[in-house]
Amino acid sequence: MRIKGAFLLLAVGVAVILGGCRRESAEVGPRYGTAPAAPGDRIYQFAVHPLYNPERLFQAYQPLIDYLNREVKGGRFELEASLDYPHFEEKIRYRKPEFLLPNPWQTTIAMPLGYQVIAMAGDPADFRGLFIARKDSPLRVPADLKGQAVSYPARTALAACIMPQYFLYRQKLDVVRDLDNRYVGSQDSAIMNAYLGKTAVGVTWPPPWRIFQKEHPREAAELKVLWETESFVNNSVMVRNDVPPVVREQVRVLLLRLGDTPSGAKILAGMETARFLPAGDDAYDCVRRYIADFERDVRPVEW
């Protein structure tokens, strides 16, 4: 991404802000490979979809992995990040990770491939799309976006792309023809495109926006939430069907009890997740219906 007149920002923050498309070294970040653990290692890969760039995702989720490694008997866990949404979805397709934290649409495509839901990762009320614009933006109503550029992290980001595009469709915009849709690779990049004026609006969802406000208060002070979508079912935690039931059950119970202690609450706060909730596959039936309606009305969802 070119950032004219923002050399200071590049010097101090571009690795975090725009890091969604670069690899970290094996020594300082999570692993990205799709290769399974060696036989007999009893190591389980826990793959989290690209909520943040890989560096930030490692900071947010490694404490959870450390917690599981302290408490689970009979296995150890490694956090696996992905460069982008297609990379994460490729891992689902080839059944590489044993554990997943996917978005709700990715949850539905993982089920036929042998993954099962064991928990919901966050309150449903927190799963909604946010349209971020500069405070000096002239936009007032969604119709004002006609002919404008909009940045999203990925075509398959449910809260940060699909739901906002359906929101705009219901506001009488032809999402495909009326907008310059730009899929920029990460939540932070979607926000930064709006901050730098490269797009009229950047689309994200609450957890990345809260983290952006904490880590980049100066830039966030020049931005505002213009519109919000309705809430929906939140991300899931899934397990591959060949994981031993004893390991699967330990992980499920540990996640549901995570908020019961101060140390667990701290882990949840670092992930910007209020709690893990009981859930099974049927909690995501509504997603299939929603996506079917979206594809009928707006565009295909690529897989």
User: Cα–Cα–Cα angle for 20, 234, 97, nearest 5°?
Assistant: 55
Burial 13-52 (b: 16+ CB within 10 A, else e): beebbbbbeeebeeeebbbbebeeeeeeeeebbbbbbbbb
Fold match between 26-124+233-297 and 128-228? Answer: yes
Render pLDDT for 23-60 as a digit per residue (tens, 0 to 9): 333 333 455 444 444 455 489 999 999 988 888 899 99
The correct answer on CATH 1.20.1540.10 for the domain covering 128-228 is: no
Render pLDDT for 261-278 as a digit per residue (tens, 0 to 9): 999 999 999 999 999 999
Give the integer Cα–Cα distance in Å for 101 and 107: 8
- Candidates 35, 45, 81; CA nearest to 60 is 81
- The pLDDT value recorded for residue 13 is 41
Burial 138-159 (b: 16+ CB within 10 A, else e): ebeebeebeeebbbbbbbbbbb
- What does residue 302 show for φ and ψ, rounded to 5 degrees? -75, 140
Mean pLDDT value of segment 157-163 = 97
The pTM for the full model equals: 0.85
Mean pLDDT value of segment 121-144 = 97
Render pLDDT for 80-89 as a digit per residue (tens, 0 to 9): 999 899 999 9
Render pLDDT for 192-205 as a digit per residue (tens, 0 to 9): 999 999 999 999 99
91: its two tokens = 């891992």
52: its two tokens = 């943040």
Strand order through the sheet with 276-277: 76-80, 43-48, 99-101, 236-240, 115-121, 276-277
> Which CATH architecture best describes the domain 26-124+233-297?
3-Layer(aba) Sandwich (3.40)
Q: Domain residues of the chain, as ranges?
A: 26-124+233-297, 128-228
Whole-number CA gyration radius for the chain = 19
- The pLDDT value recorded for residue 24 is 34
Give the integer Cα–Cα distance in Å for 291 and 281: 16
